[in-house]
Amino acid sequence: MRTNGRQSSTDDIAGRTDIGAEPPAPKRHCRRWLLVAAAVCATLLPLSLTIHAQQETQKAAQPAASQAEQPKPKTIEEDRLGIVKADIKKELEEYRKIRQEIEEMRKAVDKDRQEQQLKVAKMYESMQPEDAARRLEKIDEESALVILTTLKPKAAGKILAQMDTEKAAALSRRMLKKPKS
């Protein structure tokens, strides 16, 4: 209620009383903070009780005279840090072993692949160049390229000479582009 551009005293005390105005929005952020604080307390309470119990057992285990002579024991944080460091070292060593095993497996697979390629190349070398050319024309270009690069240059030349000229030219171009492995 306004009179002469001023608000009445009841409005000043009780807040706005305009008819049709919505009530103030609930303070959700206060509820969220309260829930977060409760969750943090619920998480930290068991931890603090455990720490307190450990400290009490340590105090009870050490006589008062020996406490004065011994250096100050490590703090809980230092103990945890030591445990974490040990875990990290263990994980790192395990990672290195796994990486080495993978590298050894990769080398074994590469060796087997090379042996297989050599066997296939020897089969093609033992064929008549015309027969080898016809067979190479029927397989995919990548496989033909692998076989031709594994063959002795003289045998590969004889086979390429018997192939369709377009196919032989395409394979020759790819052989020039292929890096030696």
- Position 51, amino acid: I
Structure confidence at residue 160 (pLDDT):
94
Does 3 have pLDDT greater than 60? no
Does 111 have pLDDT greater than 90? yes
pLDDT band at 133 (very low <50, low <70, confident <90, very high): very high
Spatial CB neighbours of 125, under 8 Å, sequence gap ≥ 6: 132, 151, 152, 155
Structure confidence at residue 12 (pLDDT):
46
* Residue with more model confidence, 58 or 108: 108
Among the ranges given (7-11, 24-28, 37-41, 99-103), the one the predictor scored with the smallest mean pLDDT: 7-11
Query: Would you tell me the crossing angle of helices 141-150 and 76-126 to the nearest 10 degrees?
Result: 80
Structure confidence at residue 68 (pLDDT):
54
pLDDT band at 37 (very low <50, low <70, confident <90, very high): confident
* Three-state secondary structure call for residue 140: coil
DSSP for 49-91, written as a single string: HHHHHHHHHHHHHS-HHHHHHSPPPPPHHHHHHHHHHHHHHHH
What average pLDDT does the chain have? Answer: 80
* Nearest CA-CA partner of 152 in 118, 113, 110, 111: 118
pLDDT band at 178 (very low <50, low <70, confident <90, very high): confident
Mean pLDDT, residues 54-71 = 64
pTM recorded for the entire structure: 0.47
Does 4 have pLDDT greater than 60? no
pLDDT band at 165 (very low <50, low <70, confident <90, very high): very high
